[in-house]
Structure 1
Amino acid sequence: MSTIRVDAHGPFHHTAALALLAAHAIPGAEEVDGERYRRVLTVGDEQTVVTLDLNRHGITASFDPPGGDSETATALVRAWFDLDTDTTTIDRALAQDPHLAELVRRRPGLRLIGYPDEFEAVAATVIGQQVSLAAARTFSGRLVSAYGQKTGDLRAFPDAHTLAPRDANEIQQHTGLTYARARTLHEVAVRWANGPVLDGLPADEARRVLLSVPGIGPWTADYLLVRAMQHPDTFAPGDLVARRALGLDHKAAAERSTAWAPYRSYALLHLWTDAAYL
């Protein structure tokens, strides 16, 4: 086993991060117990089980067996949990807004928790379209059970290279997804089979690429800009949770969000966390 310590730049609301992880945790692939989170992780070319202990200062990550070099592992964890962001500056800006001031006061140091792998982010989001979080976890758990490689007592989320040769009918049979959703998941696997597609793209170009995938609509594209790319200034006006929190329709929510630039993604995360996570 190897262990690294990764400190956050500024405040880190680790309980909100854990609540988000718990809400999306896939059976058989992820575990959240108190302030500890476990999953299979690929570091470099090596697969390992990582145990993350979160606190308000940052994260202690333990890898069993040791995975890759410590520099690669540290960079992965820092990016995954948005630990390099100066949350003090963001909190100060958002606290000027009357709707967000109380949320920021309650949860300083909220960060854009992403995914350790781009394909997993896109695939998991496709699976979760238009269903509850509980249903999304069930469907994802079936996918992991059918195709995920086992490491220790957990299975990895299957990679694009594994799913691309399968067809939509087979994926549907194993997961219980609708055929249309299974077809979109397979299309994503084919497009991502050779590696990340969005990495390094400007937000507007990444959104265009996502919308070119049959079955991915505006809400999914916006959500992925926030969760997969961790773009700091994206709002999802089509998000029902955010609209309900604001008490506004699609157009009015989009207009309201302009006041939160250039930190609209963090504002959206405050709305999500207050309504659904913590």
Structure 2
Amino acid sequence: MRTVELPVTPPFAVAEALTILTVHALPGQDAVDAATGTVRRWLRLPDDTAVPIEVRLATDRIRLVQPVGRHEGDVQRLVRRWLDLDADPAAQLRAWGHDPLLGPLAEHRPGVRVVGYLDVFECAATTVLGQQVSVAAGRTFTTRLLDRCGQALPSGGRIFPTAPAVAAVPVDELRAALGVTGARARTLSSLAAAVAHGLVLDPDGDLTATRRELLALPGIGPWTLDLIAMRGLADRDAFPAGDLVVRRAMGVPDERAARTVAARWSPHRAAAAFQLWAHALAQRAGGSAAVAPDGTARSD
């Protein structure tokens, strides 16, 4: 294993990142130690092998412990995207500084990142399973998917299943194994089949075409699409206007109004959404620095 330090423009909001990583961690694949700022998990490489990685978060640096080999550059690129390490908090503050809503939030909590996923299919499947339920329930369903279809590792852990592995399971078996509704099982199965048969979920691909293909799948609406775009496809200007918590934090009545207001935050709208979530949860918790999408307020 080799330790490298990944450049990051400070500050990096450690507490907020750790919170969202914790609430979505899957037993057997992810382990988050908030006390030390350490995250350990398994990562699938381009050659389909699974390797362990560890990241240690600090406000001014990110240390990555990774296997030595020809995929070192791939791992570092994926980790940078996963943790939004190329974000520039100062540029966001300049863009939002005079905004009456977002400016004070960013001044109070600088460096909030758009924490995503290392695997885009994992992001998409997890988002589908989190529709219309709490974060905890979505995590339960996703853990069951990991147990049912995930790749077993020699260490005893598991890594998130590939799309073909999920697509191979009949819908009725998925529904029973995961404990979800028939409609949710069909959406997950359709998504997996589409990816298995050529739908490319690539942050470096044609995001407009990818959005169009995803939206054509049954059970995938604007909220799901925006979350996948933000957290999986690294679209830093995506914005979940259909999210009720976001709209409440903005003080607007509907999705159309939310999109109108959010237009002034472009091209940093994804980071703006994470700032709004952070603010909403901090208010609910009496000032704690928690950030995570509120799964009881999702709509599609």
**TM-score class, shorter:** over 0.9
Distance in 1 between residues matched to 2:226 and 2:22, nearest whole Å: 22
Residue identity opposite 1:9 in structure 2: T
Contact 1:43 1:67 in 2 (8 A): no
Match of 2:20 in 1: 20
Residue identity opposite 2:29 in structure 1: A
Q: 1:3: Cα distance to partner?
A: 2.6
1:171 paired residue among 174, 177, 190 = 174
Contact 1:124 1:140 in 2 (8 A): yes
Match of 1:242 in 2: 246
Match of 2:101 in 1: 99
For these two proteins, the number of residue pairs brought into alignment is: 277
Match of 2:219 in 1: 215
- Whether 1:270 and 2:272 are equivalent positions in the alignment is no
SS for the counterpart of 1:38 is strand
SS for the counterpart of 2:55 is strand
RMSD (Å), alpha carbons: 1.9
Compared CA separation, residues 41 and 122, structure 1 to 2 (3 A):
same
1:180-203 deviation per Cα after TM superposition (whole angstroms, max 9, x unaligned): 111111111111125661323444
Contact 1:246 1:253 in 2 (8 A): yes
1:56 paired residue among 56, 59, 69 = 59
Deviating more after overlay: 247-256 vs 192-201: 192-201
- Whether 1:160 and 2:154 are equivalent positions in the alignment is no
Distance in 1 between residues matched to 2:198 and 2:159, nearest whole Å: 17
Distance in 1 between residues matched to 2:149 and 2:191, nearest whole Å: 16
Distance in 2 between residues matched to 1:133 and 1:193, nearest whole Å: 27
Distance in 1 between residues matched to 2:198 and 2:86, nearest whole Å: 25
Contact 1:37 1:51 in 2 (8 A): yes
Structure 2 matches for 1:86-235, cutoff 5 A?
Answer: 86-151=88-153, 152-193=155-196, 197-199=200-202, 200-235=204-239
1:130-158 deviation per Cα after TM superposition (whole angstroms, max 9, x unaligned): 11000001111111112212332431111
Q: 1:106: Cα distance to partner?
A: 2.2
Unaligned runs of 5+ in 2: 282-289, 292-300
Distance in 1 between residues matched to 2:70 and 2:142, nearest whole Å: 27
Distance in 2 between residues matched to 1:30 and 1:21, nearest whole Å: 9
Match of 1:9 in 2: 9
Normalized against structure 2, the TM-score is what?
0.86
SS for the counterpart of 1:231 is coil
Contact 2:195 2:201 in 1 (8 A): no
Q: 1:92: Cα distance to partner?
A: 2.0
Contact 1:29 1:141 in 2 (8 A): no
Q: Percent identity?
A: 41
